[in-house]
Amino acid sequence: MSKRIITILSLVCSLNYSYSQVECTILAGRGYADMEIPFSGEGLELLEGKPLYLAGAAFSGLHKEGPAKWEIQMVLRHTGLRSTPIDWDAIPEPFPGETKVFDGTPRPRDYSLTFHWDYWSFSLPISILFPVVGPGGILAGADFSYLLTRFPDEDKAALSPNLYLNPEFNYFNIQGHFGFFIPIGKRIRIDTKVFSDIIPRLPYYNINSGNTEKSYREMGFSVSLHYKLKN
């Protein structure tokens, strides 16, 4: 699948190479993608992110009525998540034979049993770039992405210690992003941006009622290097 996407990116670049009004760039970058429930404390599960790697191509042009610039990217992303269970043996019993309870402190985790899952996704970020100071400026937009890697059903228990909750990944997702860009010379540009899912990536459904109990979003940052293939 990844070879097909790279082939498509190369073909699109070559087709747009003959059009002077459209600029074609290649890009690569790194960052970090975390799994979060905004404005929520720690749950029974502990989901954490992994480093983010991205590569692809971008096509851009100037707005006819102003200094703003539009850009459409085709990006292949690789990242992952980690799920660490509670270390029940490390939680003291208040009295012999009574049920163990939490006293509000961070819950101890057994990192020797951390579950790792890496995944690929294809993303189509659409941005507006607006110069603020000289050629540099701000960028903002939305990402339309599709998860290429399927999460194995047999590993769902690693994401939820609650047997009545069923975690299900949304394979199509929309993110919002905001950041800054800095040109270096005529061909190189550096982008830094933060991003967050608009549609939750990982909702947990109640297996009895079907209602959504909670939802995780992918949130993080990235730094990417862009190289323009034509003037």
Per-residue pLDDT of the chain (231 residues; tens, 9 = 90+): 555 555 545 544 544 443 347 889 999 999 999 999 887 766 678 899 999 999 999 998 876 556 788 999 999 999 999 999 888 777 766 655 555 555 555 678 888 889 999 999 999 999 999 988 878 899 999 999 999 999 998 888 888 888 888 999 999 999 999 999 999 998 999 999 999 999 999 999 998 888 998 999 999 999 999 999 965
Nearest to 184 by CA among 228, 222, 154, 145: 228
What pLDDT is attached to residue 23?
86
Helix, strand, coil shares, percent, the chain, to 5: 10, 55, 35
What are the b/e assignments for 8-32, b being 16+ CB within 10 Å? Answer: ebeeebeebeeeeeebbbbbebebe
Runs of H (alpha helix) within 142-195: none
Calpha distance 130→109 (Å, rounded):
45
Query: What integer pLDDT is reported at residue 190 of this predicted model?
Result: 97
Q: What is the CA radius of gyration of the chain?
A: 22
CB 153 within 8 A of CB 113: no
**3-state DSSP assignment of residue 116:** strand
The CA distance from 90 to 104, in Å, is 15
Class at the top of the CATH hierarchy for domain 2-228: mainly beta
pLDDT for res 170: 93
Q: Could you tell me the two tokens for 171? A: 């394979």
Residue 170: φ, ψ to 5°: -85, 115
Count of other CB atoms within 10 angstroms of residue 113:
12
Provide the pLDDT for residue 40. 73
Residue 64: CA atoms inside 13 Å, Cβ hemisphere, count? 1
